[in-house]
Amino acid sequence: MSTAHDRERAWLLVTRREVVSRITDKSFLIGTVLMVAMIVGFIGFTAWQEERTDEATLGATPEAVAMAQAVADAAPQVDDKLEVRLVELDDDAAARAALEADEVDAWLHPVDGDWQLTSESSEQDSLTAATRVVVRQQVLADNAARVGSTVEELEAGSTVGTEFLRGDAERAAVAEAVGFVFVFLFYFAALVFGMQLASSVIEEKQSRIVEIIAAAIPLRHLLAGKVLGNTALALIQLLVYLAVGLVGLTFTPYKSYVPALSGPAAWFLAFFLAGFVALACLWAVAGSLASRTEDLQATSTPLTMLMLVMFFGGLSLDGRGQVIASFVPPVSAVVMPKRILAGGVDWWEPLAALGLLAAFALATVWVGERLYRRALLQTGGRVSLRQAWSAAE
């Protein structure tokens, strides 16, 4: 027989059971390890791509050797990840033979007063871009010399600079990439843990074990334990992913951004916690409304639609729409961390958005607890929201 003290601590026992049963489950551990491996692999590939140097072989017939040599010498100044090696060819026939034999990547030669870069079957993007810049500069310098001028004089006033109101382009690209990771991790965790939570509720209801549990502890304690247990698991897993990601970034050319990402990552954890609690409670309600596993798709459809709105809204919203959405729960759970990453957010905005999200979570827990308690013990088929809300205690 349970004592009053045991009943008061029932939510803690359920939480512990949820955490222990999942953290010792092989599928959970394997899934976590695989995700960590994917993160490490992606970061490793990114670092390799950034450090990798493209090597190109440029062929030139006698009349183009001087220009090709200029391209080979100046290419690293145009693209610091490109190295060009010059191969001198006797004539056009030798050039075509070298292309067909893959001895050169491209052949530079003059055509009707201009220059042409011929490749075997596909354009060499980095080599083509560098060649265009160098040839233009060389020809412009020659033409300027003929009229007694210089390239600098001819190009005076033609330079277009760039400026970013919120940092530089590289920082913006990093913020965009990390923002995508934040949105994906929230969606992934809410979907995976939510489905598992709902499934466990259905299993207990379908096997009628919940009736035995309800005789021993209050149902609100059962709900609290399930929500808190899954929230703890999701948070632990998320911390592992973020730690691996931030540590991994220190081995890439983007390591200078790691300190700047720590603050937004902490904000993301806070928004994740509030948003996940609300969604976890709704997943528990979706499970309680179903009487069989087959019913879950119908009872969880509104919730999955909401999560899709959050996912695509977090990825696609910008401008004024993004600002407004960053204060609208539960979408703010993914939108505000992205805005924080991008910069230009006043200090009070994350606090206000988090406060609204926390209020939404509390309201969701209150409504969800009532629906959960009143639907969980009804086994005569799928229960509608109206039936659950108006059912007797």
> Which of 45-49, 212-216, 318-322, 360-364 is predicted with the least confidence, judged by mean pLDDT?
45-49
What's the pTM value of the predicted model, to 2 decimals? 0.74
CB 298 within 8 A of CB 323: no
Highest mean pLDDT among 83-92, 120-129, 230-239, 380-389: 230-239
Q: Is the domain 53-154 a CATH 3.40.190.10 member? A: yes
Provide the pLDDT confidence category of residue 336 given band limits of 50, 70 and 90. very high
Provide the pLDDT confidence category of residue 1 given band limits of 50, 70 and 90. very low
User: 20-61 pLDDT, tens per residue?
Assistant: 888 888 888 898 999 999 988 888 887 776 666 778 888 888
The pLDDT > 70 percentage for the chain reads 91
Q: In this predicted structure, what is the pLDDT of residue 165?
A: 43
H or E element: which one contains 116?
strand 114-119
Domain with CATH 3.40.190.10 in the chain: 53-154
* Cα-to-chain-centroid distance, residue 218: 40
CB 225 within 8 A of CB 14: yes
Dump the DSSP string for 22-58: HHT-HHHHHHHHHHHHHHHHHHHHHHHHHH--EEEEE
What's the distance, Cα to Cα, between the start and end of the chain in Å? 23
User: 179-189 pLDDT, tens per residue?
Assistant: 999 999 999 99
Position 392 pLDDT exceeds 70: no
